[in-house]
Structure 1
Amino acid sequence: MTVPRIAQLLFHRSIFLLLLLIIQSAACLSREEDTISAGVVIKDPQTIASQNQIYKLGFFTPPNTTNRYLGIFFAFSQETVVWVANRYTPLKDSSGAVTLSRDGNLVILDGTNRTVWSTNLTTTSPVVNPVAQILDTGNLGMTLSMNVKTGKRVLLTAWKNATDPGIGSFTGGLDVVSGTPQLVNWNEGRPYWRSGQWNGLIFLGIKLMFYAYLEGFNVVKNDSAGNFVYTTPQINGFVTLTLNSSGSVTRKEWNGVEKRWDVVVTYPENECDVYGKCGPFGSCNALESPICTCMRGFEPANEDEWGRGNWSNGCRRRSQLRCGDDGFERLRYMKVPDFAQPLPSGVQDECRTRCLGNCSCIAYAYDSYIGCMFWSNTLIDTQEFGSVGVDLYVRLSASEFGSHKGRKLYIIIPVTVSFACICIIIFIARWLMVKRRGDKVKDTGIVEAGQMFTTDSTAIVLRNEAKEVNIGELPKFTFEMLAKATKRFHEDNLLGRGGFGPVYKGILANGKEIAVKRLSAESGQGMQEFMNEVIVISKLQHRNLVKLLGGCVEKEEKILIYEYMPNKSLDACLFGSTNPTKKLLDWNMRYSIIEGIGRGILYLHRDSRLRIIHRDLKPSNVLLDQDWNPKISDFGMARIFGGNEDHGSTARVVGTYGYMAPEYGMEGRFSEKSDVYSFGVLILEIIKGKKNTRYFNDELSLSLIGCAWKMWSEGNGLSFVEEGIASRETEEEMVRCIQIGLLCVQESPNDRPVIQTVLSMLSGEIVELLPLPKQPVFAENGSTRGPNGSTQQNVYSNNEHTLSMLDGS
């Protein structure tokens, strides 16, 4: 059963726009501009508007027709309709009207006062003085959901076409049937596009998401009742997400200057995004011609159709599997197939063992956040991404590998023998060199450039494992030693997970504690960020920057080793009311942390031999040593400038939502002032003890930055400070820090102070009155100037679809 609702989907911040029925009023309410009282008639073309003139309720006519429908649309873009009432019973002329009946139902009447549509609400108690109100605010986001116990879904439904708002053949929503949540568009019940599996940070089938881990970009949560819910958080600007009649999902942003909607991205992006384009066991690559190929060990199921470009029947095995005598072919950087069966596991090798031990397992993959994923029937909707994605291991008969090996055996044997002889000669020569210098590095735990640890830290052998990666002057460790130090990368030693992959605590043979960052093959970041961090941080030395101790490059493993920070990261200590370490962070410690972060940024911007912009400053990238001194870490996104360069631009925006400066997040422009903006957010978070991307003041409808602005500008800055540390004795210093933070998060980079000025403000070197900050761009929960020039709340909507409840049976 389909139940129309007033709803809209947004991409970064969804707003549930509700036509709210308030039915328990004690007295009759007089009509206001945004309400309809019982008995009041709104005749076409009259409208009512939300309080801030963002949305209107009224009659509209789709293009190329004379039919009239009641709907809700943007006040400044009336062709952008977000909800339709009488989608199946249009009025034929402009004589219609809408009213609110005495029983609380919204009713549409034609020119003869005949009811053509009604909400048909029923209540268990009498309705007294009902009022219908159109709002321009609501909850944090529209939700798409699925209950795995009942099968019920909350879905988007597309129009039939641009002229007919009746429910079309395409729907979209959350699918959890295959074991891991993913977004799917269906065409009359058949999959048309899917986002790939949700791993807790991104959807693995959307290539763009691998390039920027935007915190809060999407959220999928589940509860004990079996409900999985998908939401998108708030962001500044008017944004719509449209499911149209052809099955495409388009994200648009309102261009206030040009007064138009600009298309940002559309899914499916290409032919390979269409579900199952290459059929079972086929792999799609949009950059190749033809786009479809059979996986290794498979051949077209129908050669004639395949040759004509009809790939729907896919591929079949050349050699059948024989349980216990099979191997795996590795397919790199893939959108992994549909119907994955997840099984949490800490190590990738366990996935291979489990799959080999199960005769029905035909493939496996590993994601550091999901764990193991297995497939048992078919591999459908597989795509090659090229540079990002997940490695897929496909099970093949041993004969597929044997024949391949036999053809090249005559090449491999002589090459292997020659290589072995060369290695023996080199080994002997280097062994003699090491023997002379062995005492120099004995028991130090770190070796010189070009040296490599063995499992015994007192015995050193020079080796060159970095065949693809040159980690330069960085001291080198062997993988076996790091595995031993971390107890084979055991989950108990896991410190956290970053963009690269997991970070583990390790203890070397000489007792030295280290932090081991292991680059995950499934990471959204890769070789570029790995080498960037090696190049940047190996050349930096400052008490407020984390120290890089060494690296490891062996086969597919790429690992960085840092000094161990016993107090972990700033976000682990600062956020969460039940965190015991949070009680230790009094105002003096927080102030010291703010100054320390600032000194680290100053070193990067001005005092180091390289001019560096970090581009990803956030609490999780600030580590705390045993004395609670802050140390900036994670330089994978940093950019180095030379000469007189002081700014740059990029088409690949990387960083974390909530900490990116507006000019960087929207236009890809970055400079030292981009880091200053992130530092300003950090200052406010440290003062408030709340995370910017997770904070929302329900009472004031304000974001963290907006809350700081409101309380400071009203002369009540102390109310913004976290309750446990707020004190009249330090009020002046706290309020001054709030003002400095607000100066840093101003919208224009030219208005923000440089970092050395910020430090002077913090230290008290600037004793005169500080400049007055301008209202930040995200002040009122993403408020901005509306079409009429007044300050108003930004809200978001979809177009060409409604929210529906479908029975899963």
Structure 2
Amino acid sequence: MKLGWNKRTRENKFITSWKSRDNPETGQYSFRLNVTGSAAQLYILNGLTPVLRAGPWNGITFSGLPGYTVSPVNDISSLYYIDNEEEMAIYYSVNDPTFYTRLVINDEGFAERLNWNTGLQKWDVFWTGPNGQCDKYANCRAFSICDPNKVADQGCQCLPGYKDKSDSPTNTFQGCVAKSEALLCRNGEGFIEVPGVKVPDAAKAQFDLDLGINECKDFCLNNCSCTAYTSANISSGKGCLTWYGELVDVRYFSERGQVLYLRADSSELAKDSKKRLLVLVLPVLVSIFLLILLLVYWFWWKKKQREGNLDFSQGSGNSEMSFMEGHADVLAMNERGTEVICFSLSTMVAATDNFSFSNKLGEGGFGTVYKGQLQGGQEIAVKRLSVTSNQGLEEFKNEIILIAKLQHRNLVRLLGYCYQQEKMLIYEYLPNRGLDCFIFAKTSMLNWRTRFNIAMGIARGMIYLHHDSRLRIIHRDLKASNVLLDASMNPKISDFGMARIVGSDQNEDTTRRVVGTYGYMAPEYAMEGLFSIKSDVFSYGVLLLEIISGRRNTSTFDAGKSVNLVGHVWDRWLESKPLEIVDASLAESFDVSEVLRCIHVGLLCVQESSAVRPTMSEAASMLCNERATPSPVEQPAFINRAQVYFGTLKSSSSSSRTGATAATEMTTAISEGR
């Protein structure tokens, strides 16, 4: 389809409307390329009266159709403008034979560009005009501009340097006149940029193909009758279009549009200069102000973190928490390399699918553990503390304080917490669950080498807690269910809710509130409230014997002799039959000398007197050093029924893991100690 003039035949091709919807005779409306004057412009005409003016061609599109570019439309059809010796015309080129497009004008004077939608089998409107008041020709009279975002006066307002002709806000808008009646000619005048517009009607404008934009400015400035200018071809920068007398049919566009350079006197130029300066400076000032606010908020947030936004002192009359006074710097959790994040409750609800049963990993006395996934895809384990647990708040505070400062490959990593309506701890998710799920299974799949590596990994983690971390930490609840396994079966010690900080030069402390798991507590701790790094060594010894035997310390053995696993191992040791305690699932696929050395070290760790037990570093050294000769073993604790300490127990399941099902050990809280 081609619209325009044949310069030789003087033939004019355009489209017309029907006389009515049902009468196909030629109507009064037409859509045509008008070459009156020096610049070709697209019009919708009602007879000879303009209804819509699409503006002059500017090298890319028509000035009044900034979104209707000549570049390929979806690489399917292209719009072209030609001006040569033969013709001045526009036409479409369809690049896809399956694509159909048409241009129509109806009997009411509305033009539409329609594209055929093959999928929906209907015509889609690509463009329609006139579309709104500002599309109507000369809607705002002379020296004015139409803004579609402005409601008053049908969107009309005066161009810079001009004022409302009516001079009264109550009168109908009649167009604009110059503010200064003096002739603007060589009296300090210049040009104000009016960007994003459809340029004025160019029917009486002057067109010069050879002038660039700078030459165009000088040309217009030297002619006292020139009221505005612009580039005739914004693609090449060549061509000058200048106006003389009234400027009509100018409008704003929210996107694209051309720049119109409007002649103005020195006073308007000064205002425009201040306005332009404000436009440049204001965003910078606003950005600086927002940056300052952001920094203030960041410092405030960091301060709240240091002060402990969990309100660690609230509701804690227990003197056991007074250790924080000596280690206040621990509360600055975010000073370490990996920050502990405070998650919102809504984030946790979304991550766990509203704590669905299918995401439940385990349940213990302090709450339930769920598997979750953050928005970025990271898998997490959410420990949701029980609302009814009277122990939960202190353990919650304690675990955050401690784990936030601990970084070791054999310690579980705390990612964050939630303190919004509920108390939650968010850990890394470990897919292989807890150690107890493997060593206590009916048919264990752990070979000896894997068991030994797990035992050494636990030992390294405990050495870090006792000796290598900045603060000496006593775990007080080391057991199989609190050792989690990652995808490579590397052990990670978890559940620091009962852990205690002691001074770097302090080896023991006492408490009136004894907590731990029956079968793993050292006798001096269970009976007298005396805990030390050696009480953790005792727990490690029990755990080491469980790894070797595949049986719990609380298992039932010979009624007449052994009351627990430690007693059973001791009996076999005295009978010189220690290998009888080895897990039957291992058959004979193990290093005999290595197993014997591990049994020996395990018995050394569970000796009744804490003074003769090795430290964790000594135990680890004996485990991995074939040439080291462990010292003779003294009688372990809890080997006879008469020696078993039961006390007054308040029992609650202690399993609160980050990747496992619930275990059956009972965490005890003995209210009276030394």
Q: TM-score, normalised by structure 1?
A: 0.39
Higher relative contact order (CA 8 A, sep 6+): 1
Higher-Rg member (1/2): 2
TM-score normalized with structure 2 length: 0.46
Higher helix fraction: Structure 1 or Structure 2?
A: 2
